[in-house]
Structure formats: structure tokens, C-alpha cells
Amino acid sequence: MNKQSWIGTCIGGRYRLETLLGQGGMSHVYLAEDLKLKGKKWAVKECLPVEADDMTFFLEEAEMLARLQHPQLPQLVDYFTTEDGKGFLVMDYIQGPTLQDLFEEKGRELPVAKIVHMAFQLCDLLHYLHTFQPRPIIYRDLKPSNVMLNEHNQVRLIDFGVARHFKHGKQSDTMQMGTIGFAAPEQFLGLQTDARTDLFTLGSMLYYLLSGGQYAYITQKPLEQIRTDLPEALTSMVRLLLQEHPQNRCQSAMEVKMRLRSIYSESTAAPEALNLQTPFITSTPDKLIVIGGLFAGVGATFMAITLARILHSLHIPNAVVEQPTIEPDLVYAPLRR
């Protein structure tokens, strides 16, 4: 059955496919209505195996997604196969444009501040994947069309079709996959991919976005020759990420994040350099703020929520986590004689 033939059909006993959201070489993604939970919409991904009777990749992706628990990664809610051997993943439907859509809509010119802020978030996502237990996950296909943005400019990483677990001691990947223009050299040389592979693709994507849609492997030019207005710290970081040999690149997503943080720090001193209307929100170092009260009802929760709202109004990302107990950590009981 071709991709259009699925439209209007009910699969898995409860998901009616309404329209095609996107397609790639290995999958088609549909918007589906949940016939059991009325009004609920899901993104249903039809996975196309390399061979008609080979569901290995489908099962690997399903098992991988089922274990991921991150608010900016797709949440898998169901998966199944049909009688003819097709595999389907049911995931939360993320509304909003892809980064590629936004890039095209804006004439392939986005504010540098916005691009760097998205990269900052992607570093956190890659760090989560690269430190995932029991085995790190290598995404392998970072590109603008696999990044979605919500109304608050938070990134969501989608499509784990070519992601894989990293195995120490393995000399090569089973298959060489990636998108030409963004993929790292080792992906096409039959070599082992690791966290530094994802960092190369991050550098490729930054080069693409900052250069107005040019590919580093085609231009063979340093980014600073194309954009003379960019901070040197930014262009040098992109150059470092795009090194051919993995050992010459940044070695972790957190290293990239720290370099980005230095760019933010510089921009707060000279915001006009990045055309900023307000200071960069992430120039503020990560902090853990603990608010506690000795007794229930003294207002600790109210104070925490108030502080969170103030930080939100200043566009500073934050999260409020309340200790699930009403018992005080410290009890004062005077001694009785």
C-alpha cells in the first residue's frame, strides 16, 4: 500500500490516518485521530525497513524511544506491526514548524541570537542522549528538518530512524546513514560513530543556518569568510566542530555548551554585536535554588512559584520541583525536664 492509500484508514484498531505530515527515505509520518480517546491527535510513523521482511530497525527504534524520558524528545505511546509486515510508531503530535520551515519562511536568514540559542538547547539534548544508560545513543541525523520549534522557541528533536546505541570496541557501524551536507565523514567511511559524530552534524547545521543555506562540504570556506559580522568565538567553534578527524573536534556536548556560554557572556557586554533586543537569557549560569520552610503552610511553595514566574518574565528557563513530603527536614523540639 502506498503512502496515499493509508489516508482515511484505521490502523492498530484505533488510529485513523488523516493526512501526511512528512516523509523521508526510511519513513512516512501521518497525523492520526485516536478513535478511542476522542479528539486526541497523534503522529504515526510508518517505518520502511531496508528489506521487506526485516523489522530489526523498527524494533530497535521502538525500544529506544520507549526508554527515553525527556520533555524535548518525542514520547512513544504505542507501536505495532500490520499483517503485511509494516511497522508503525505512535508518538505525541508536536505542533509547530520545523527549523527548516522557519528558515525558508524567513528567506534563509535567522537572527544569530536565535540560532545560537537553539544550539544551546540542542547541546543539552545531545548530552542527555550521549550519557544515556545503559548505553549512549548517537542520533546521527541532526539537520534543520529534524528540529521542531514550539511557540516558546523551545526545540524538539524528532525522527530517531537512524539513531543507534554506541558500542565500545566496535570498529564500524552496521550501516552508513546520514544526510549528505550534514553527516560526518566517518558516517560514509564505514567507521564507528560516537558522540563526536553528532557534534560534527551540529557544526554542519550551524554553518548552514549562519551562511544563508550553504553547505560547508561544498563551499570549503571558513564561516568567517562568508559572514564577517559573526563573533570570532562562534566561527572558531563551528570550525572546530567541522574538523575531519573526530579527535580534533570538541569532545562532548557540554564542551560545546561551555563555548556557547562564553559567546552569550560576550554578547551581554555588547548586545549589538548579535543584534539582540534583550540580554541573552542563557548568559545566566545554571543554578540550583532551594527554598524551604520548617513547617507546612509557611509559604515556601508560594515563594518558589513566585520566583519561577519572575524568572519566566525575564525569559530565563527554569523548572520548579517540589519535594514530595509535608514533613519538615528539621524539627525543633525543646528538651523537657
Q: What is the DSSP string of 12-55?
A: TTTEEEEEEEEE-SSEEEEEEEESSSTT-EEEEEEE--SSTT--
DSSP3 helix / strand / coil % (the chain, rounded to 5): 35, 15, 50
Please, is 132 exposed, middle or buried when counting C-beta atoms within 10 Å of its C-beta (0-12, 13-18, 19+)?
A: middle
Contact 207, 216 (CB under 8 A): yes
Q: Which residues contact 69 (CB under 8 A, 6 or more apart)?
A: none
Name the residues annotated as catalytic: 141
Q: How far apart are CA 235 and CA 63, in angstroms?
A: 38
Task: Give 204's Cβ-side CA count (13 Å radius).
Answer: 24
For 250, the grid coordinates are: 570538541
